[in-house]
Amino acid sequence: MEHTIELALCGTVSVPPQPFELQPDSGLYKLCLCVRRRSGNCDRLPVLVHPEQCPVGRMARGYGLSITGRLGSQWHYDGGRHLMVMAVAQHIQPVHAPPGEGRNRVALHGKLNKPPTLRRTPLGREIADFLLVVDRANADQSFIPCIAWGQQARAICRRAGEGEVQVLGRFQSREYRKQTPQGVCVRRAMEVSVCGFEV
């Protein structure tokens, strides 16, 4: 059975479309969409589009887009194994640049890769992160990183072994620092911030 990955985004283009480097023969383009949060910060989200869906040549920086589609993931090897998570656009509509908070909704239905563990941040906030495995119609699977805080984190850790999980949340980007042999570098993680779930 195919599981659910529904996605709705509305924001502005921050990086115009470029040919998708991991699948150069696919005809796909990748752009970066800036979706503003209520706090005023922006999530900078990678989106795959097909030129038949929209005029990619006109999507300059600041171009407003409303996108519906799904989340997808792909393993990438460049000296290590990295999971790339991207929005895959199925319907695109130009919009006036949203003046305030953009639309950012995700619904996922899948299985946990392994039981999540509840832990605390250095500031004492409870957090649980987990990988949701979502089957697709072509027998492939998407691996979607998810993160939950506080009460949601505790509830997911208590009930994670009871079956498949429906997750509601927001597709977000998060910067973090990683120590490498070349020194400390800043990286960006793509994940779903959980605001609700059902088992």
Provide the pLDDT for residue 189: 86
CATH topology of domain 5-105: OB fold (Dihydrolipoamide Acetyltransferase, E2P) (2.40.50)
| Conformational region of residue 151, where left means phi above 0, alpha means psi within -120 to 50, and beta covers everything else | alpha
C-alpha span between 181 and 185 (Å, rounded): 10
Return the bridge partners of 77, or none. 81
Q: Where are the domains of the chain?
A: 5-105, 107-198
Rounded distance, CA 90 to CA 68, Å? 6
50-100 pLDDT per residue, tens: 988 877 778 889 999 999 999 999 887 776 778 899 999 999 999 886 667
For residue 188, is pLDDT > 60?
Answer: yes
Q: Tell me: the pLDDT tens digits for 148-167?
A: 999 989 988 887 666 788 99
Separation of CA 142 from chain center: 11
Domain 5-105 and domain 107-198 have a common topology: yes
- The CATH class of the 107-198 domain is mainly beta
Tokens 């779903």 belong to which residue? 192
